[in-house]
Chains A and B, each alone.
Chain A
């Protein structure tokens, strides 16, 4: 196991509402699967300040209209439940990379 925890950037329009919901679900899921990660939440407008040295993965409930070099997973299914398992699985794969 690598010592270095992955960094996840949870993104929504305000950085406090749906990104919190998604962060909670994701972190619960990772912990249940014996995984861990560091994370921060931010609003989508601040994304240009980030690059791939800052985070390994973006999990977003909004469109991400910037090229940051960080892989993006669209997290809307974690809010509505429709297709949530696939999203969690995709996140897990990125964290295990």
Chain B
């Protein structure tokens, strides 16, 4: 089930960090502690982002999708993090500098199923209405609810 990727314990909308490295340390440690990610996840994120950055500029929102090789993933997850400060990141594809405070850490383990959710999410972030709601939400419960209702709907449409 698609919705099992989201977890109330993997949402943090007030991350107080200065840069991407601190963010990776913070979110990475949390994901490891909660048994979603394995040891090596944090350095994996750092290395990966250096060679292949994951920033994406959508029409109405910039986001970054830090992710690593599936060997560092314990249970599949998507960790939603919003930083208090806007952080510098680099754009996927051309490495151009951009900035964002919206991060979706993708813990992809099953190469055949989870990318489908990613495709749904990328469609959602192209949708102005969804983005406006996403940006307005400031509680973890509301965020979980938005994700569950949005992607449940998408899955139903697909079926």
Residue numbers of A with Cβ under 8 A of B are 12-18, 20-21, 24-25, 44, 60-63, 74, 76, 79-82
Docked CA distance A25–B115 (Å): 12
Give me 29 A-to-B residue pairs in the complex whose CB atoms sit less than 8 angstroms apart, sorted by A's number: A12-B52, A13-B48, A14-B67, A14-B68, A14-B69, A15-B111, A16-B70, A16-B108, A17-B67, A17-B106, A18-B65, A18-B118, A20-B111, A20-B115, A20-B116, A20-B118, A21-B119, A25-B119, A44-B52, A61-B93, A62-B92, A74-B93, A76-B56, A76-B92, A80-B56, A80-B126, A81-B58, A81-B59, A82-B59
Residues of A contacting B74 in the complex (Cβ-Cβ under 8 angstroms): none
For chain A, what secondary structure do more than half of its interface residues adopt (helix, strand, loop), or is it mixed?
A: mixed
Residues of B contacting A17 in the complex (Cβ-Cβ under 8 angstroms): 65, 67, 106, 108, 115, 118
Q: Does B51 lie at the interface of the complex (its beta carbon under 8 Å from any beta carbon of A)?
A: yes
**Residue from the set B59, B108, B122 with the largest chain A CB neighbour count within 10 Å:** B122
